[in-house]
Amino acid sequence: MVIADECCQSSADITLADEVGDVAIDQYMQVVGLRLASLGRSREKIHRKFVEKKEDPSFREELALKTAKISELEVKLAEVEKYLKDVKDSYAKDVEDLKKKEADLSALSARMIEVTTQLKELEKNKQGEILDSFLEGFERASV
């Protein structure tokens, strides 16, 4: 009570209570009490409607339908996740194959450059041999 007197009462409240008197305060408390009882009863009715709704067969059917729909959607979700995983794995495999093919292509390109260089050298050598054979032929003819 000491804490309530110190914390909950202000001097203005004490002065007001002294001015209106005990009868007015008792009447005010009755009104507040009736309002609290009314609010309690309203909450009780709301709670009862909620409990009755839970026990309502249509509510149970609706709940069963929603539960079935959730299960169906979970199955579809699992299927889609599996499909996406397969697509991702396929994509990873395709990327790996593409990297291998790019490496093979680079190796073939390097080999082609090498062979082209060798071919050019052979052509130069061949031209030189042809010229040499013509020179030999001319030298034989002139001798």
pLDDT in tens, 61-85: 888 899 999 999 999 999 999 999 9
The shares of helix, strand and coil residues in the chain, as percent rounded to the nearest 5, are: 95, 0, 5
CA–CA distance, 31 with 26 (Å, rounded to integer): 9
Query: At 143, is the secondary structure helix, strand, or coil?
Result: coil
Q: Has this prediction a pTM greater than 0.85?
A: no
Which residues contact residue 53 at a Cβ distance below 8 angstroms, ignoring those fewer than 6 apart?
59
Identify the pLDDT of residue 12.
79
Q: Which residue has the tokens 């009462």?
A: 9
Averaged confidence pLDDT in the chain: 86
